[in-house]
Amino acid sequence: MSKNWRISSISGVVLAGYFIPTWAAIAWRIVDSPVRGLFERPSVSVALYATDHLQLPTMTAVRFAWLLALGRLTVVAFLALFVVLFVRGIFRRQSGGGEALAIALTIGSVLSFGTMLMASQVGEIEALRLHASELLVMIGTGIVMLFDTPAQTQTVEVPADLPAQEAKLSYNG
């Protein structure tokens, strides 16, 4: 097992443990029935903002719902890719998948921030709390990724003045 795990990788795996099933289920409900899925609690702020404030017709609201589901599934895909690369890195004793986590955090933060703003505009307090907490978790992991440096490998200094035939080894006197 690798002993140089980064705290951002562990935080990313915990984050993926929440967002993959949650956002995949939300997106599946929207794909299954766009109008009904859009008006459920996690997406109700987007639905109310699109239909009441923007006064979008029903078909445009359905397209808006599909776009929201596509965004959430994109975040789920990048988080799943991160988890696969992280697990692969455990067996190869190297870290990996930071780029996939960064992309998922960026897209997810933009989605959560947008839905949080929409929830504040339409007055949905529970949706506002949900999206604000999701945004804070993603921003927190992003900050940890920003300041968490990879483990430094120790390099061995070899004097340059020794020729290859005269290398002094511990067992060669």
For residue 173, is it within any domain? no
The pLDDT of residue 166: 59
For residue 167, is it within any domain? no
Average pLDDT over residues 92-100: 77
Nearest to 35 by CA among 18, 16, 48, 53: 48
The pLDDT of residue 71: 96
For residue 153, is it within any domain? no
Name the pTM for this structure. 0.81
pLDDT bucket at 150, cuts 50 / 70 / 90: low
For residue 12, is it within any domain? yes
Average pLDDT over residues 32-56: 91
pLDDT at 2 over 70: no
Give yes or no for a contact between 19 and 79, defined as CB atoms under 8 angstroms apart. yes
pLDDT bucket at 157, cuts 50 / 70 / 90: confident
66: number of Cβ within 10 Å: 16
Concatenated DSSP letters for 42-61?
GGHHHHHIIIIIS---HHHH
For residue 157, is it within any domain? no
Domain that holds residue 55: 7-147
Question: Distance between CA 45 and CA 72 in Å, rounded?
Answer: 15
**How many folded domains does the chain comprise?**
1
Average pLDDT over residues 33-56: 91
Percent of the chain with pLDDT over 70: 82
Concatenated DSSP letters for 115-155?
HHHHHHHHT-HHHHHHHHHHHHHHHHHHHHHHH-PPPPPPP
Which tokens hold the place of 160?
A: 């340059």
Name the residue with higher pLDDT: 148 or 110: 110
DSSP letter (8 states) at residue 77: H
For residue 128, is it within any domain? yes
pLDDT at 96 over 90: no
Give yes or no for a contact between 31 and 69, defined as CB atoms under 8 angstroms apart. yes
For residue 16, is it within any domain? yes
Q: Give residue for tokens 């992003």.
A: 142
